[in-house]
Structure 1
Amino acid sequence: MSHMEILKKELRKEFPSIDKDLQTYVEDVLASSVEDFENSEDVYEAIGEILHEVANDKSENDIRMLCTKFLTILRPHSNGTEKPGMRKILAAPVNLGDMAAEQTTDVFDVQSIWMQGRNETSKVDAKKLEKAEAKLQQKLERREGAKPTTVAVPVLQTASASQVMSKKDTKMDAKGQSRSMDIRIENFDVAFGDKVLLQSADLILSTGRRYGFVGRNGLGKTTLLRMISGKQLQIPSHISILHVEQEVVGDDTIALDSVLECDEKLNDLWRKEKEYSKDPSKSNELTEVYHELQAIEADKAPARASIILAGLGFTKEMQAAQTRTFSGGWRMRLALARALFSRPDLLLLDEPTNMLDIKAIIWLEKYLQNWPTTLMVVSHDRNFLDTVPTDILYLHTMRIDAYKGNYENFVKTRTEKLKSQRREFEAQMAHRSHVQEFIDRFRYNANRAASVQSKIKMLEKLPELKPVEKDFEVSLKFPEVENLNPPVLTVDEVTFKYPTGDRTILCNVSLGASSDSRICIVGENGQGKTTLLKLIIGTLTPTGGFIRHHRGLKFGYFSQHHVDQLEMNVSCVELMQREFPGRPVEEYRRQLGSFGISGDMALQIVASLSGGQKSRVAFAKMCMANPNFLILDEPTNHLDIETIEALGKAVNKFLGGVILVSHDERLIRMICKELWVCGNGTVKSIEGGFDEYRRIIEAEIEAAASK
């Protein structure tokens, strides 16, 4: 049994109630400073105060005797008095990273911050890497007979990546010998203009796992997905990657064929079958084609494509329609359907739920739970992240941390990890303060000079400490308004049909709302949810019936189109000045600050902001007019999870009425007091709230799957 194992056993025996983190801390202090201890008095100075805290039944003399015992265990020939004059000869090198890994708990993956390597400077010399890349570029240009070009410095809206690659892996990939389906992108950097997004980061994706990629807005999640899909980071060439980012181009191809044609192997076999069947001499080749078609179950391909389209909301008629007849939102759904059908080795999805209604989201959740290859999805839908991923990748402080389990498990694990790290940090700071106090007290005492020098060396050996990161709390604040006496809003027998259309969108709809209303409207896309909102605020005029407003009613209307319509080439403050001229700059900044756009961010050009930050600017702009009734149409698109939580809390504190159209289940559950279901030309309030609505939807999905 080693000296440290004996020490651990003795510590647990003498102090059975000691906290595990404190025990680890005491062991670290003793192990790292054993050679600097002149005698047991130094040991007592280092850990005596902590031991007193965990053992109220022991006297000072007891603790001192134990300190002598601990020193004797670590230095068997010292008897607690011998000065350090010897060094322990190691039988083998000691890896501090391995020592830190041994301290990791199985449950919470807590690593000692004394041993963490992430605080080290980058192992990559950025200047050397830049020179090497420039030389490589010049070499390639000389081969192609082109004149060497200078490497331009990245500017705003330009992303760049660099990666340190293993020569062995590069050679194996070039020779086609690397057949692993796992993806390891190690020690890479990503920058967006002058802003460094990731530095010395690692990303490991195991085949068959489903990864939820989370982190605050603007940290680079979407940029990294584009880097991966654009092959700007080293990924084995045999791994197929598909990033669902752009909508399908509209043409005369029907929707079902558009999905089928994305499987190149299947279409190549069908082409060969058609060609060989016309040539009797190709009978052997035709037989081989039939075998291959049978092996990939080609006869089931149209049915599988149809099931995917139906799950995403395409009716039989829509599946037979030409792609040019669909709107942008439906073409994005078609792009998603093509990706699900083709099953690439790595599927990258960026906010797939933004384009879907609740029914399609529930179907997609169930479909992706059985996804056979590797999936990496960026999403801010908390329920989606609790249902689909097997792992969570957390982007923060220019690195990516991996957690097992869904989002709920990630939150629990990370919370406990931060608590443990904070306790350890505070314990280490207390130790440093205690040693520094001893140094200051006896600095000029000749009798203590040797001991003071020993303490100074001990402090110098301790790694530089960094405080445990704190979560930035998002806060949104809607304007304070006065309550309006009912009736505030009345929809009476309203019917609506667009002048250019044949279909009646709404028929004989009667509803009411007050200043304390928290109404959520759900239903499939195209059933009139947004039309109803526009009728309420007066943008559209009813074909029949009446809508009555309280004379003091002032709407605040938010939709994602407002985000797209923001002026992009001005700063946030300038945008507010143009919309609401003549007010002090402090008032504009205060309003933007109410929605998290503060400091230098308020002076940034709107185009440089992330989608979620633009949404906050749109919120600030909407609320500058002090509305007392909020109409929110899909407000969560592009908002991160923390901001969605903050939005729910802000809505609940708002004193005016709220009508919300959303597909975010968590937000609906947070604020909904009344659920309206829009469909088949009617709008009905449903008893049982969202739970009942979800039960109905799941029953419909199961019924459709069984047909």
Structure 2
Amino acid sequence: MIRATGITLRRGTKVLLDDTDFVVNPGERVGIVGKNGAGKSTLFALLKGELDTDAGTLDLPAAWRIAAVEQDISTPERPAREFVIDGDTGLRRLQAERAATPDSEGTRIAELEAALIEADAWSAPSRAEQLLAGLGFTPDQWLNPVRSFSGGWQMRLALARALMAPSDLLLLDEPTNHLDLDAMLWLERWLAAYDGTVILISHDTEFLDAVARAILHFDHGKLVRYKGGYEDFLTQRAERMRQTLLAHDRQARETARLQSFIDRFKAKATKAKQAQSRVKALARMEKLAPLQADSGIDIRLPEPDSMPDPLLILEHLSTGYPGADGQPAAVLQDINLMVRGGARIGILGVNGAGKSTLIKTLAEELAPIAGERRASKGLKIGYFAQQQLDMLDADSTPLQHLARLAPELREQEQRNYLGSFGFSGDMVNQKIAPLSGGEKARLALALVVWQKPNLLLLDEPSNHLDVDTREALATALAEYEGSVLLVSHDRHLLRTTVDEFWIVADGQVNAFDGDLEDYRDWLNQRTANQRALARNDAMRDAGDGEAIIDRKTQRRLDAEARQRLAGLRKPLLKQVEGLEKKMAQARARLDALNALIADPDFYSDERRDERVAALAEHGETTKALAQLEEEWLEAQEALEAIEQPAD
């Protein structure tokens, strides 16, 4: 096991851990959580032996092999598959020695051949290809040099290389930052089958909850251990804080705000399964109220001054970038969609499908190639790009940034606004350069929303944000009265923020009639279709007969999968919608009857007949509501039982 005893860690003059103990048992999956700058990555450096403790001891089993994702790629010319296999350094060492051993040394050759068999040398290429496929690389990319991939895809290669290495301890620092949902789900399955110990840093709470079985939380210089996954951590920590929290007034205000939040979305939710997941998420937010109070981050997005409807109309719009010949090359074609006032839309699609291209076009950062983008006269866009952090002036302070946008505002008002985004006290006068990625992201978001936009275009806004800030952002976006288009791989943020989805695939953008679980099923179906096409292409290339499936049918197969799903779901959705209306009416009547029954005058002799009738109605309405709730639950179970075939 890993055992820390009385360890102290400092970064400069800042104490990250102060005389703290913790234990990680063999085979455990442990999540590390804490605010940006708390010391999570420093702890990983300690576990990897890259630095020493300032005090105390850290004991790791001497025989344990440690694997971690390398941040610097030193061999960019290597083919991708070979780069991944290089992660198994023991295998590469054996292969090098075998190649250098002369044929005359028969005994040593036999020993090396046995060792290579033991190291699964002959299956190494196929194992590497499985990792590459799982992380989204197509077969025609497996032998491309590492340098030919973008930075995000190079980090996927580095992750595959770490997974390739035989290990007893796997250290993963934000492994999902560059993954789309498909690759993220694959990684969850891979980690579930991994035999060793996993220590994981992640700000993606759903991923963390799916993988971790224990949580170590950076809390005022200590590492506090919680049993279970991330949701269990929230429950346990919230309970601890409720017992010690003195700020009762703030918690009461937060509870009232959350209740208003829940009531608003109960009224607005239009899709049963999304409504169900939204209510669950909001119930979770009630549990988070004291945690958010402790975080000191309470993001409030300014309300827009006006809300035209519709805001944007796209008609036969095509968009893309200049090709090698200088002529425009379309990435997305013939888009026909509308952004309504108050719309909350999540943009889904695998990496490289064109999600950012779509957002840039909506934001007028990219001109359409064809078609029309018609904007309302009152449209006011707030655009948070993936590279938004690069637009900050590293030599300026948060206060100077805001002063440039709002020179007429008094300094105290500027400070108050920045304080709501976690910049308080002396932080507003610190230069941007040394801030963490999460702190820069918070500032960038604060500057984007200052202008009171009525349409927020957010491209991965939660990258670099710690868990507390992600929760605050989810709350702020859910309460925001304007329209939101959100690109994110953070499933919790999507669940709590959006009401509908657009899907970007195969050069098209279409409304998606489903939720994140349906999207996962759609991805599985799409993967199965692609594999079938690949098999048939291989048959054609090998001359083994004509292909069964023509590549031109790909879009038709995907469309049929979506239509089949919608056909199964729509009758149930209609049933649930009707039940929810009846349940709301029954609850309203019960509230009225409860108010009547609570009135002392109700029990006077003069009102005996009224009392008998009201109490009888109360009993009947309670029974009817219970029956409606039972039918609602059955309908929800029927919805969740609908699954797409795997092939």
Same fold (TM > 0.5)? yes
Whole-Å separation in 2 of the counterparts to 1:512 and 1:249: 46
Going from structure 1 to structure 2, the CA distance change for 1:344 and 1:607 (only over 3 Å counts) comes to farther
Higher helix share: 2
Counterpart selection for 1:385 from 197, 202, 208: 208
Q: Secondary structure at the match of 2:433?
A: helix
Give the CA deviation at 1:316.
Answer: 0.8
Cα distance per residue 1:318-366 (max 9 Å; x no partner): 1111111111111111111100111333322221111111111111111
In structure 1, the residue corresponding to 2:237 is in which secondary structure?
A: helix
Q: Which residue of 2 aligns with 1:253?
A: 78
Does 2:317 align with 1:494? yes
**The one of 393, 404, 407 aligned to 2:230:** 407
1:592 shift after superposition: 1.0
Report the counterpart of residue 476 of structure 2 in structure 1. 650
Q: TM-score if structure 2 supplies the norm length?
A: 0.70
Counterpart-to-counterpart distance in 1, 2:242 and 2:404: 46
Answer yes or no: is 1:318 the counterpart of 2:137: no
User: Partners in 1 of 2:357 and 2:516 — Cα distance?
Assistant: 22
Matched letter for residue 32 of structure 2: F
| Residue 471 of structure 1, CA deviation | 3.0
C-alpha contact (below 8 Å) 1:477/1:650 kept by paired residues = yes
Cα distance, 1:267 vs. partner? 1.3
One-letter code of the match for 1:648?
Answer: A
Do the aligned residues in 2 keep the contact of 1:249 with 1:323 (CA within 8 Å)? no
* SS across alignment from 1:505: strand
* Partner in structure 2 of residue 361 of structure 1: 184
The verdict on how the C-alpha distance between 1:516 and 1:422 changes in structure 2, with shifts beyond 3 A counting, is: closer
Q: 2 CA distance for matches of 1:251 and 1:235?
A: 35
Q: Is the 8 A contact 2:67 2:163 kept in 1?
A: no
Task: Look up the match of 2:117.
Answer: 294
For 1:394 and 1:366, locate their aligned partners in 2 and report how far apart those are by CA, in whole Å. 24
C-alpha displacement of 1:215: 1.7
Q: For residues 296 and 700 of structure 1, what CA distance do their matches in structure 2 show?
A: 35
Q: Distance in 2 between matches of 1:659 and 1:203?
A: 42
Which of 493, 498, 501 is 1:667 aligned to?
A: 493
* 1:636 maps to 2:459: no
Match for 2:178: what amino acid? M
Moved more, 613-622 or 500-509: 500-509
Aligned with 2:321: secondary structure? coil
**1:704 Cα shift?**
8.6
Do residues 308 (structure 1) and 308 (structure 2) align?
A: no
What letter is aligned with 1:673? Answer: D
2:17 aligned with 1:205, yes or no? no
Amino acid aligned to 2:344: R
Superposition deviation, residue 509 in structure 1: 1.1
Which one-letter code corresponds to 2:491 in the other structure? E
SS of the aligned residue for 1:560 comes to coil
Q: Measured at CA, do residues 525 and 472 of structure 1 come closer, stay the same or move farther in structure 2, by a change above 3 Å?
A: same
- Which residue does the alignment assign to 1:271? 96
1:404 shift after superposition: 2.0
Aligned residue among 658, 683, 698 for 2:509: 683
Q: Tell me, in whole angstroms, the C-alpha distance in 1 between the residues paired with 2:83 and 2:76.
A: 10
What residue number does 1:342 align with? 165
2:380 is aligned to 554
Call closer, same or farther: CA 1:531–1:556 in 2, change over 3 Å. Answer: same
Q: Deviations over 1:596-636 (max 9, x none)?
A: 22223222222333222211111111122222210000011
Count of equivalent residues: 480
Would you say the 8 A contact 2:349–2:355 is kept in 1? Answer: yes
Deviation at 1:589, TM superposition (A): 1.3
- 2:198 corresponds in structure 1 to 375
2:313 and 2:374 in contact (8 A); partners too: yes
Structure-1 separation of matches of 2:129 and 2:224:
38
Deviations 1:653-684 (A, max 9, x none): 22211100000111111122111111110011
- Contact 1:559–1:632 (Cα < 8 Å) also in 2: yes
Q: Which amino acid aligns with 2:208?
A: L
Distance 1:584 1:416 in 2: 40
Aligned partners of 1:640, 1:342: CA distance in 2, in Å? 29
Tell me the equivalent position of 2:643: none
State the shift of 1:560 in Å: 3.4
3-state SS of 2:322 partner: coil
Distance 1:273 1:305, change over 3 A: same
Residue 540 (structure 1) aligned with residue 540 (structure 2): no
Alignment gaps of 5+ in structure 2: 247-290, 536-647
CA distance in 1, matches of 2:46, 2:113: 39
Letter in 2 for 1:663: H
CA deviation map 1:294-333 (0-9, x unaligned): 2222211111111111111111111111111111111111
Give the whole-Å Cα distance in 1 for the aligned partners of 2:126 and 2:292: 51
Mapped to 2, the partners of 1:515 and 1:469 lie a distance apart of 29
Contact 1:612 1:639 in 2 (8 A): yes
1:218 to 37, 48, 66: 37
CA distance in 2, matches of 1:564, 1:228: 31
Contact 2:460 2:488 (8 Å CA) reproduced: yes
Distance 2:116 2:219 in 1: 46
1:250–1:329 distance in 2 versus 1, CA, 3 Å:
farther
Q: Which residue of 2 aligns with 1:60?
A: none
Counterpart in the other structure of 1:454 = none
| Aligned match of 1:186 | 5
Task: Report the counterpart of residue 510 of structure 1 in structure 2.
Answer: 336
Q: Is the 8 A contact 1:247 1:334 kept in 2?
A: no
**Cα distance in structure 1, aligned partners of 2:75 and 2:314:** 38
1:620 matched to which residue of 2? 446
What is the rounded CA distance, in whole Å, between the counterparts of 2:14 and 2:309 in structure 1? 52
TM-score (norm 1): 0.64
Aligned to 1:243: 68
Q: Distance in 1 between matches of 2:293 and 2:389?
A: 30
Tell me whether 1:598 sits opposite 2:424 in the alignment. yes
Deviation string, structure 1 residues 60-91 (Cα, Å, up to 9, x no partner):
xxxxxxxxxxxxxxxxxxxxxxxxxxxxxxxx
- State the alpha-carbon separation in 2 of the partners of residues 247 and 555 from structure 1: 37
Confirm or deny: 8 A CA contact 2:470 2:493 kept in the other structure.
Answer: yes
RMSD: 2.5
2:280 is aligned to: none
Deviation (angstroms), 1:470: 7.3
Instruction: Label 1:704 to 1:401 Cα distance change in 2 as closer, same or farther (>3 A).
Output: farther
**Structure 1 residues not aligned, in runs of 5+:** 1-181, 424-467
Residues 11-50 of structure 1 mapped to structure 2, 5 A cutoff: none
Distance 1:670 1:224, change over 3 A: same
Q: Provide the rounded CA distance (Å) in 2 between the counterparts of 1:208 and 1:201.
A: 22
Choose the corresponding residue for 1:232, options 48, 52, 55. Answer: 52
Distance in 1 between residues matched to 2:183 and 2:294, nearest whole Å:
33
Deviation at 1:518, TM superposition (A): 0.2
* 421 and 702 in structure 1: CA distance in 2 versus 1, 3 angstrom threshold: farther
Other structure's SS at 1:352 match:
coil
Deviation at 1:408, TM superposition (A): 1.4
Q: Give the letter aligned to residue 367 of structure 1.
A: W
1:434-583 aligned within 5 A: 471-472=294-295, 474-501=297-324, 504-583=330-409
Distance in structure 2 (CA, Å) of the matches to 1:579 and 1:345? 52
Alpha-carbon distance change, 704 to 629 in structure 1, aligned in 2, over 3 angstroms: closer
Aligned letter for 1:558? F
Cα 1:367/1:474, change in 2 over 3 Å? same
Q: Secondary structure at the match of 1:591?
A: helix
Q: Which has the larger radius of gyration?
A: 1
Q: Is the alpha carbon distance of 1:418 and 1:345 closer, same or farther for their aligned partners in structure 2, counting shifts above 3 Å?
A: same
Rounded Cα–Cα distance in structure 2 between residues aligned with 1:377 and 1:523 = 25
Residue 507 of structure 1 deviates from its aligned partner by 1.0
Q: Deviations over 1:481-529 (max 9, x none)?
A: 1343322101111112311258631011111102211010011111110
Amino acid aligned to 1:232: D
Write the letter of the residue equivalent to 1:316: P
